[in-house]
């Protein structure tokens, strides 16, 4: 039995003979248009949006002020120092990139698996990807110190006649994250063109007509354009799938191709990718539950959607837990004393507090999703998913800092503490993320209207009418 | 009902006016597919279907060709992959080889991440660009947008457009056919004249302004790369340009003597400066140390500092040099052919300019000086002269290091072992003038006799 709220449509019953409906209520083409487009067309935003936007933009301003302070003063304002030369900035970078991967997975990988339920959430998730990658990209860009020389990262002809080092994973990162940001942006924008055309055709003010008109490029919805669109969507999904796997693999190479005990392990690529999907889906759920409540999208983003996402969180959480166990096993089985010490030190050393936070948040808390009641109760999902995100931040922290603070030579050991700037910049990055996200919710179509329309039962899709 | 314009009367074709075609509205996807099929069967070819979402089955009905986007993606991917590999190879192995901890200059696997990402990026560009271009986008001025009813094409209605350029087109008959097939509304598609299709003035102006502004950075870059500048480059944050440190030859108020460059602390010897073996380093035997204790000071590093402390001390130093030290008579290092060859090479670099190749004092500098000074130049002593032949190797060593009379000392240019090498070569040179048949090895002697 399911304990759902009275006005919550429950399509989470599992009956192999019946394909459950993906939407509730009587949805027609025009009702979907009206429901989603009106969210972007309100002349004055709701009060709650304004308050949230004021709060998040003040955090964003703080972030940029701190970045300015850091550029003028130097990277020493952070806690990074010998022996822990990589601290919060890289942890934040991997955290945000990981969150971004869920959006691409929903858009691309679920599309290739023909999971129609993705259509209600994919626009939302791809937007989250774009904004998460933006936040991620800030940290490597500013950590170089002399930010005005950031173009030195690129292989541009210069007066030194020098080129960057192609054997370094740090350069692979530059290419990977650039490619990921660009392809995700192209994918997101291309998918939005038909919906922007819808907003264009409904626009009443001149500014909106011009803005949406330019953005929609003159889309008319002809069969030729749809043919191209579908083919392009399929190709971009097929390209984005290896992209998302390779990008986080390359990010894991930052650690895996080094010699540091606890880092130099071949499990990192699949472990990081699974962890990225894990944290990304947790963030999607954390954002989606309040959004569907507040924006009235419960008929389009049903309990089944949330339940499916919780199942993915559970599955990837188990993969991450399995990876933790494998690391320990291989450290013991491999007989390398430094590796063995690294893992014992994680659990029992000075950072044990971080390690056990990570374990309880990542391995233990998602196990609650085995219970149907938990994975069909929205607020419970949010609590668990916030814990998952906390745990995943701590996972990157544990990997980075414990291995560096105690590596081969005991005389080099040291304890790392973050500075206030470290902490505030991380908080500020959340401000940037939410600012961009609130702007998206205000001005752009939050749900992929055209895709949702194409899975309406009346439109000849394989989905069934709601009961 | 959406917020679209209220129901407008249909604009039906006027036989007198030329039209672009007909626009028919349908209520559902099934209706429009059936209608499109029928219209195609009736012989029409110039028709298009517009819908708010992609309709399954429409491609077969319209007999449309699949777009060739995947070829573009493959081409992009290949270029990216090969280009990435080539970049890693040419930049790191050929043009500016970087030695990174013994890794191979080019290796396939480390170049793969970048090549792979570039492949995907270029393929994505090809797909995106191809979609936009092949879709005829951006196309802001479409005559269909002049028809208010068409706004529902992106909302909840389906449309068929039949172009007037179609062979079978006839305004009345086509309209009747469309209504028979279930159209709920027919509108006329106008023909846009050139003025109406043009981009509005503000857009053109903005585009021109932006285009010109976009040219400024490349122009500045080209200018910077191709011209010189009399002023240093702009530096926004200059902490590393003006470092609070003392440089050579500057003053320093911290020390009494005002110098930043500090002399060696007395009583210390710098690492590598302990020259204990006086036979090797100075050409004198140790037992002369007590006899001429202060004389040894002459040949130590501190001589320099002692000399600059006061002029009288400098004169004293010169005086003390007059006492004859105990020069070594044997070479302190083993002498073999390689040492003599080295000595020959060094002699010809440093000494032959004045002393001549043969040691006769007829080097090029001497000859030229004689010319210029018109005979008032004092030639270097011939190295074969008897006083020089009688000098011990230690004294010859000292002459090379510290000079004698007008010859400067070459201690700064010639390392210690090389000085001994030159001395060994000098002895060989001197031997060439004083050797007899007895000095020649027996296996070489017969050949020499034949020459004579």
Kindly give the interhelix angle for A268-294 and A223-256, rounded to the nearest 10 degrees. Answer: 130
pLDDT score recorded for residue A460: 67
Residue A320 has pLDDT above 60, yes or no: yes
Encoding tokens for residue B366?
């001497």
Residue at token pair 């005979």: B375
Residue B239 has pLDDT above 80, yes or no: no
* Yes or no, beta carbons of A163 and B53 under 8 Å apart: no
pLDDT score recorded for residue A43: 84
Task: Please name the member of B69, B140, B153 whose beta carbon is closest to the beta carbon of A231.
Answer: B69
Interface of B with A in 69-108 (CB under 8 A): 69-70, 73, 87-88, 91-92, 95-96, 98, 100, 103, 107
pLDDT score recorded for residue B7: 63
Dihedral angle of Cα A230, A233, A235, A238, to the nearest 10 degrees: -130
Residues of A in contact with B140 (CB under 8 A): 213-214, 217-218
Work out the minimum CA distance from A378 to partner chain B, whole angstroms.
31
Residue B288 has pLDDT above 50, yes or no: no
Average pLDDT over residues B73-94: 95
Residue A340 has pLDDT above 90, yes or no: yes
The rounded distance, in Å, linking the Cα atoms of B304 and B313 is: 11
pLDDT score recorded for residue B154: 92
CB of A154 within 8 A of CB of A164?
yes
Higher pLDDT, B252 or A10: B252
* Yes or no, beta carbons of B139 and A33 under 8 Å apart: no
Residue A5 has pLDDT above 60, yes or no: no
* Yes or no, beta carbons of B87 and A166 under 8 Å apart: yes
Work out the minimum CA distance from A347 to partner chain B, whole angstroms.
33
CA B390-B395-B398 angle, to 5 degrees, is 150
Sign of the dihedral defined by the CA atoms of residues A266, A270, A275, A276, in that order? positive
The rounded distance, in Å, linking the Cα atoms of B185 and A384 is: 53
**How high is the mean pLDDT of chain A?**
92
* Yes or no, beta carbons of A218 and B2 under 8 Å apart: no
Instruction: Report pLDDT digits (tens) over B328-368.
Output: 999 999 999 999 999 999 999 999 999 999 999 999 999 99
Average pLDDT over residues A338-346: 94
pLDDT score recorded for residue B384: 94
pLDDT score recorded for residue B293: 39
Residues of A in contact with B135 (CB under 8 A): 224-225, 228-229
How many H helices and E strands in chain A? 17, 0
For residue A196, give the chain B residue with the closest CA: B154
Residue A277 has pLDDT above 70, yes or no: yes
Instruction: Report pLDDT digits (tens) over B20-58.
Output: 889 999 998 999 999 999 999 988 888 899 999 999 889
pLDDT score recorded for residue B11: 65
Alpha-carbon distances, residue B152 vs A138, A269, A443, A455, B147 (angstroms): 42, 48, 21, 19, 10
Alpha-carbon distances, residue B245 vs A3, B232, B241, B248, B252 (angstroms): 73, 21, 11, 10, 11
Q: If pLDDT is split at 50, 70 and 90, which confidence band does B165 have?
A: confident
What is the percentage of chain A residues whose pLDDT exceeds 90? Answer: 80
Alpha-carbon distances, residue B298 vs A409, A430, B295, B307, B403 (angstroms): 49, 73, 5, 10, 13
Residue B3 has pLDDT above 60, yes or no: no
Question: Would an 8 Å CB–CB cutoff place B110 in contact with chain A?
Answer: yes
Task: Please name the member of A167, A214, A228 whose beta carbon is closest to the beta carbon of B92.
Answer: A167
DSSP strand E in B343-414: where?
Answer: none
Encoding tokens for residue A309?
């996402």
Question: Would an 8 Å CB–CB cutoff place A175 in contact with chain B?
Answer: yes
pLDDT score recorded for residue B273: 81
Residue A196 has pLDDT above 80, yes or no: yes
CATH superfamily placement of domain B337-439:
Cytochrome c-like domain (1.10.760.10)
Residue B317 has pLDDT above 70, yes or no: no
* Yes or no, beta carbons of B54 and A198 under 8 Å apart: no
Residue A101 CB partners (closer than 8 Å, separation 6+): A129, A244, A247, A248, A273, A276, A277, A280
Residue A45 has pLDDT above 80, yes or no: yes
pLDDT score recorded for residue B316: 56
Work out the minimum CA distance from A266 to partner chain B, whole angstroms.
15
CB of A389 within 8 A of CB of A286?
yes
Query: What's the DSSP call for residue B7?
Result: P
pLDDT score recorded for residue A238: 94
Query: What's the DSSP call for residue A398?
Result: I
Best A235, A246, A252 residue to mutate vs chain B (most B CBs within 10 Å): A235
Residue B194 has pLDDT above 80, yes or no: no
CB of B47 within 8 A of CB of B162?
yes
**How high is the mean pLDDT of chain B?**
85
Question: Would an 8 Å CB–CB cutoff place A224 in contact with chain B?
Answer: yes
Q: If pLDDT is split at 50, 70 and 90, which confidence band does B192 have?
A: confident
Nearest CA among B197, B181, B76 for reference residue B130: B76
Q: If pLDDT is split at 50, 70 and 90, which confidence band does B290 have?
A: very low
Best B83, B107, B154 residue to mutate vs chain A (most A CBs within 10 Å): B154
Query: What's the DSSP call for residue B9?
Result: P
pLDDT score recorded for residue B103: 87
CB of A223 within 8 A of CB of B48?
yes
The rounded distance, in Å, linking the Cα atoms of B349 and A105 is: 73
Is B84 strand, coil or helix? helix
The rounded distance, in Å, linking the Cα atoms of A275 and A102 is: 10
The rounded distance, in Å, linking the Cα atoms of A11 and B86 is: 54
Residue B432 has pLDDT above 50, yes or no: yes
Residue A164 has pLDDT above 70, yes or no: yes
pLDDT score recorded for residue A70: 94
The rounded distance, in Å, linking the Cα atoms of B247 and B234 is: 24
Instruction: Report pLDDT digits (tens) over A71-87.
Output: 989 999 999 998 999 99
For residue B102, give the chain A residue with the closest CA: A167
β-pairing verdict for B21-26 and B158-163: antiparallel
Interface of A with B in 240-279 (CB under 8 A): 240, 242-243, 246-247, 249-250, 253
pLDDT score recorded for residue A4: 43
Encoding tokens for residue B302?
């501190």
Higher pLDDT, A361 or B269: A361
The residue count for chain B: 452
pLDDT score recorded for residue B303: 52
Higher pLDDT, B289 or B122: B122
Residues of A in contact with B120 (CB under 8 A): 179, 183, 239, 242-243, 246
Residue B304 has pLDDT above 70, yes or no: no
Residues of A in contact with B69 (CB under 8 A): 228, 231-232, 235
Residue B298 has pLDDT above 60, yes or no: no
pLDDT score recorded for residue A466: 62
The rounded distance, in Å, linking the Cα atoms of B175 and B185 is: 10
pLDDT score recorded for residue B15: 63
CB of A201 within 8 A of CB of A208?
no
The rounded distance, in Å, linking the Cα atoms of A392 and A357 is: 10
Interface of B with A in 205-244 (CB under 8 A): 225, 236-237, 239
Q: If pLDDT is split at 50, 70 and 90, which confidence band does B19 have?
A: confident
Q: If pLDDT is split at 50, 70 and 90, which confidence band does A11 have?
A: confident
Question: Would an 8 Å CB–CB cutoff place B118 in contact with chain A?
Answer: yes
Instruction: Give the domain ranges of chain B.
Output: 21-66+136-193, 69-131, 279-320, 337-439
pLDDT score recorded for residue B4: 45
Residue B318 has pLDDT above 70, yes or no: no
Instruction: Report pLDDT digits (tens) over A400-450.
Output: 999 999 989 999 999 999 999 999 999 999 999 999 999 999 999 999 999
Question: Would an 8 Å CB–CB cutoff place A68 in contact with chain B?
Answer: no
For residue B84, give the chain A residue with the closest CA: A166
CB of A118 within 8 A of CB of A104?
no
pLDDT score recorded for residue B340: 96
Question: Would an 8 Å CB–CB cutoff place A282 in contact with chain B?
Answer: no
Query: What's the DSSP call for residue B185?
Result: E
Instruction: Report pLDDT digits (tens) over B124-162.
Output: 999 999 999 998 888 877 889 889 999 999 999 999 999
pLDDT score recorded for residue B413: 95
CB of B280 within 8 A of CB of B261?
no
Work out the minimum CA distance from A25 to partner chain B, whole angstroms.
17
pLDDT score recorded for residue B289: 45
């Amino acid at each position: 039995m399911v304990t759902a709220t009275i006005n919550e449509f429950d399509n989470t019953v599992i009956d192999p003979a019946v394909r459950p409906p993906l939407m509730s209520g009587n949805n027609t083409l025009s009702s979907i248009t009206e429901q989603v487009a009106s969210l972007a067309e309100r002349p004055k935003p709701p009060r709650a949006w304004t308050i949230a936007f004021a709060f998040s933009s003040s955090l964003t301003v703080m972030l940029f002020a701190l970045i300015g302070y850091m550029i003028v003063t130097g990277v020493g304002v952070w806690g990074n120092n010998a022996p822990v030369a990589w601290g919060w900035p890289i942890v934040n970078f991997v955290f945000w990139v990981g969150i971004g991967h869920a959006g691409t997975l929903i858009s691309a990988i679920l599309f290739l698996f023909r999971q129609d339920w993705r259509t209600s959430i994919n626009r939302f998730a791809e937007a989250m990807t774009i904004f998460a990658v933006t936040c991620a990209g800030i940290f490597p860009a500013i950590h170089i110190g002399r930010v005005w020389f950031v173009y030195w990262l690129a292989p541009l002809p210069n007066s030194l006649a020098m080129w960057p080092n192609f054997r370094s994973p740090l350069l692979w990162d530059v290419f990977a994250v650039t490619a990921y940001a660009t392809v995700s942006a192209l994918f997101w924008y291309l998918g939005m063109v038909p919906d922007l055309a819808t907003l264009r055709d409904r626009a009443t003010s001149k500014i909106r007509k011009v803005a949406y008109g330019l953005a929609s490029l003159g889309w008319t919805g002809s069969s030729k354009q749809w043919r191209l669109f579908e083919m392009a969507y399929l190709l971009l999904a097929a390209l984005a799938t290896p992209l998302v796997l390779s990008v986080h693999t390359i990010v894991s190479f930052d650690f895996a191709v080094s010699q540091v005990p606890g880092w130099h392990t071949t499990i990192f690529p699949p472990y990081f990718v699974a962890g990225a999907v894990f944290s990304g889906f947790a963030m999607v759920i954390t954002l989606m539950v309040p959004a569907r409540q507040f924006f009235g999208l419960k008929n389009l983003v049903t309990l089944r959607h949330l339940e499916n996402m919780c199942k993915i969180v559970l599955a990837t959480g188990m993969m991450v837990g399995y990876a933790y166990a494998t690391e320990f096993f291989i450290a013991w089985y491999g007989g390398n004393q430094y590796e063995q010490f690294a893992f014992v030190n994680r659990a029992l050393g000075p950072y044990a507090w971080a390690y056990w936070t990570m374990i309880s948040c990542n391995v233990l808390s998602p196990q609650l999703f085995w219970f149907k009641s938990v994975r069909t109760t929205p607020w419970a999902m949010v609590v668990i998913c916030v814990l998952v995100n906390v745990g995943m931040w701590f996972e990157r922290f544990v990997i980075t800092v414990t291995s560096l603070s105690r590596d081969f030579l005991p005389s080099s050991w040291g304890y790392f503490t973050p500075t206030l700037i470290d902490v505030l910049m991380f908080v500020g990055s959340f401000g940037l993320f939410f600012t961009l996200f609130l702007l998206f919710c205000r001005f752009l179509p939050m749900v992929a209207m055209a895709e949702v329309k194409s899975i309406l039962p009346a439109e000849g899709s394989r989905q069934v009418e709601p009961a | 009902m959406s917020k679209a314009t209220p129901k407008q009367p249909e604009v039906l074709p006027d036989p007198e006016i030329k039209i672009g075609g007909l626009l028919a509205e349908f209520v559902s996807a099934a209706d429009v597919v059936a209608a499109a099929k029928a219209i195609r069967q009736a012989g029409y070819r110039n028709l298009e279907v517009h819908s708010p979402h992609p309709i399954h089955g429409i491609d077969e009905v319209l007999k449309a060709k699949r777009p060739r986007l995947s070829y573009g993606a493959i081409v992009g991917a290949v270029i990216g992959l090969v280009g990435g590999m080539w970049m890693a190879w040419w930049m790191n192995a050929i043009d500016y080889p970087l030695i990174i901890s013994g890794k191979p200059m080019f290796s396939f696997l480390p170049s793969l991440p970048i090549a792979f990402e570039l492949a995907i990026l270029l393929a994505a560009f090809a797909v995106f660009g191809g979609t936009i271009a092949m879709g005829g986008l951006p196309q802001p001025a479409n005559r269909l947008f002049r028809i208010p009813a068409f706004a529902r094409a992106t909302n909840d209605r389906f449309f068929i457009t039949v172009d007037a350029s179609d062979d079978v087109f006839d305004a009345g008959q086509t309209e009747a056919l469309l209504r028979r097939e279930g159209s709920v509304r027919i509108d006329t598609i106008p023909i846009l004249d050139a003025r109406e299709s043009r981009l509005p003035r503000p857009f053109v102006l903005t585009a021109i302004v932006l285009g010109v502004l976009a040219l400024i950075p490349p122009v500045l870059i080209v200018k910077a790369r191709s011209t010189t500048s009399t002023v240093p480059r702009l530096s926004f944050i200059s902490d590393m340009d003006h470092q609070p440190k003392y440089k050579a030859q500057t003053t320093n108020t911290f020390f009494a003597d005002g110098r930043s460059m500090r002399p060696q602390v007395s009583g210390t010897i710098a690492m590598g400066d302990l020259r204990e073996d006086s036979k090797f380093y100075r050409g004198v035997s140790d037992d002369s140390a007590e006899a001429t204790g202060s004389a040894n000071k002459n040949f130590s590093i501190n001589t320099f500092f002692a000399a600059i402390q006061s002029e009288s001390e400098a004169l004293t130093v010169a005086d003390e040099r007059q006492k004859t030290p105990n020069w070594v008579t044997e070479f302190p290092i083993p002498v073999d052919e390689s040492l003599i060859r080295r000595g020959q090479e060094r002699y010809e670099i440093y000494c032959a300019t004045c002393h001549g190749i043969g040691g006769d004092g007829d080097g090029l500098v001497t000859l030229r000086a004689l010319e210029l000074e018109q005979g008032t130049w004092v030639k270097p002593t011939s190295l074969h002269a008897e006083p020089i032949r009688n000098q011990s190797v230690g004294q010859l060593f000292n002459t090379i290091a510290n000079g004698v009379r007008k010859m400067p000392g070459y201690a700064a240019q010639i390392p210690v072992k090389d000085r001994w090498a030159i001395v060994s070569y000098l002895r060989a040179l001197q031997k060439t003038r004083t050797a007899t048949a007895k000095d020649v090895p027996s296996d070489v002697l017969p050949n020499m006799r034949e020459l004579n």
